[in-house]
Structure 1
Amino acid sequence: MPNLASTYLGLKISNPIIVASSGLTDSIEKIIELEVHGAGAIVLKSLFEEEIIMEMDEQIQNMTNRPFVYPETFDYMNEEPEEDTVRKYLRLIREAKAAVSIPIIASINCVSAQKWTYFAQEIEKAGADALEINLFVLPTDMNRTGDENEQIYYDVLKTVKEQVALPIALKISPYHSNLSNLIKRLDDMNADGIVMFNRFYSPDFDINTLRVTSGQILSNADDYKNSLRWTGIMSERVNCSLAGTTGIHTSESIIKHLLAGADAVQIASILYQNGPEYIDVLSKEIYAWMEEHNFKSIEDFKGKMSQSKSNDPAAFERVQFMKNFRNFVL
């Protein structure tokens, strides 16, 4: 009988389907339901760097405005009667760990290695199994070089790694001058995992009201191709775990990522559309495919179609359609 178990960030997961950080993972009730329907792991809804810094600054300001301030005064910050966003997040981690048996991965959305990084220690104390750092610097500052932008990735990983023993995954974008070099350097710095790729807000225009609006929020079923390409390229060239995300809507796209060398995939949009019970459907379809092809475990076929094992490695680096259009007829 096929076994869907995999290993991600050094964590044993019952199957490679991880629920991505989203509104689907922001409460105990939702997390329990996701486990019931077969999620291999959960990435909690992200806490933003700005939220951590703002609440820390407010608490320090409250303390220093008092007439007598001693170092012990700051202990009060852990005893405030009102539960702020940061404390709620830590409580969510603790309650999730008590309520389910699958790995709980905390998530921080950040753009720097500034004051927020201390919070990784609190996440570790709360019992999270790992931390995913969703990091992207939109390269709009014309006075900053590409190297300066990418240095932020290295600084964040180094700073957090120095503070915790938790497995650390970086959820990154594909927008780099040399993506393979970036991923290799992060791997050399002992990143435990790379998640490819984060999905961004995209502005759009309303041509009737002449206002800037939001582009499509949910991914499309064809959006996984870039993640598939880079998973296949980096597989077996780095030691860290690889996870594909964005546009993964079917068991077929999950299987493709595993064939490319991913240890797991992260899904959200398709669960918004079909509900958490769709995880059961995906798992059963993967099981049936493995049974049909006589694969007993994920390891039997993981990376089987990666670039390093491909008979046509150039296909992973082809960027023009000339060959395809040669016989293309409307």
Structure 2
Amino acid sequence: MKFRYLGAGLLASTLLLTACGQGDKSEDTKSESKSDSGSKSDGSGFSNSSKKEDNSSNSSSESKSENHSDSDSEKENSKSSSSENEDTNSPQYLAKVWAAALPAYRDTGRGQFDDMKITHYDVSGNVLNPYNADNSIKFPEGTQMLSGSPTAAGLVTYSNNGDGTINVYNVPSHFHDPRWLESNSFSQSESERIMNNPKVVKLYDGNQSALDAIASKIEEGGHNSQDIVYHNSEESQADRGDSDSSSDDSSSDDSSSSEEVTRENVIDKVEEYEGHNLDTSKYTYKEPEQKGDGSWGFSFDDKEGNLAGSYIVDPDGHVTEYDADGNEV
């Protein structure tokens, strides 16, 4: 009988312990279920929900960055499209070309010459060195020129790229180096070097008041006609005949000596006398003034404002240079 009671007691204890164990497992299962439905840990110390927030933040930043980049790209594309659609013969466009190639005009648009003029020419097919045409090359189709008057105001030979930039060719305004006329190989190689090595310059689109001032000085000259000289070509000389050549030279000399000196060409006379363009990077040249005897004169200062010298151009074109003390040079 005692054994029956003992067996019954053991059975009851076993059942009780089993029930408690199942209860603990149920609680663990519920806890894990809650954890799964919330934030799971991946062992890194951060919950997946934090990672999702970080990823969302990163995505937002990347999206903003991409939008900003797209906006900048759209602005650049808009500028490029505007440049492509702009009338390349309009005074405003030509003013941008002038200021791009000659930065000295970006402040006021006047440079050093209040009464300058700028003439726009199409020089397609013209010879780069007209004084030795047989040993030079022709400008390709689309080559343009902006020629300042007086000559010291500047000269820009260029072509449009259609993307807001231009090719600027370093064509001399005067061919004072005797090799241009006397050396066939120099004239040919130098012409090719100039045209094969343009400087790519972005159109200037800054100081609008300066651009307006430049645009007001521009006039259209159409296609530029050239006076071609076959300086070293025996074949061309024979075609024209020696007598015709001599007659032309004589006529040219007479025309040059009888040319009236004016405000527009007095600088040209001085540059012919000097054999090179006036150095506006080193000196500041005053406006030419006509004297009572018909001659023209102007002085020039160094960049510190000190008088450096002056020129007098007689009515017949004869140039006399004076130093800062007034002594003839």
- Length-normalised TM-score, structure 1: 0.26
Which of the two has higher C-alpha Rg?
Answer: 2
Higher RCO, Cα 8 Å, sep 6+: 1
- Length-normalised TM-score, structure 2: 0.26
